[in-house]
Amino acid sequence: MSKWECPCGYIYDPDEGDAGNNISIGTSFEDLPEEWTCPKCGAEKEFFEEMDD
């Protein structure tokens, strides 16, 4: 699964999930709830860019 980067520099990694927002390890970026936002700056999913592997 791909990692996704927020403009603020936060990287969403499916292998880590987002425990602070009850996102389980193994949750792909595409499967995050639409209302999920960057835990660092609050940016919405649409602002994230997929990182090259």
- Number of residues that this document lists for the chain: 53
Q: Tell whether 9 is in a known binding site.
A: no
Q: Tell whether 11 is in a known binding site.
A: no
Q: Residue 24: enclosing H or E segment and its boundaries?
A: none
Q: Tell whether 6 is in a known binding site.
A: yes
Tokens (6 digits) for 23:
């996102």
| Owner of token pair 């520099």 | 9
Q: Tell whether 10 is in a known binding site.
A: no
Binding residues: 6, 8, 38, 41
Binding residues for Fe cation: 6, 8, 38, 41
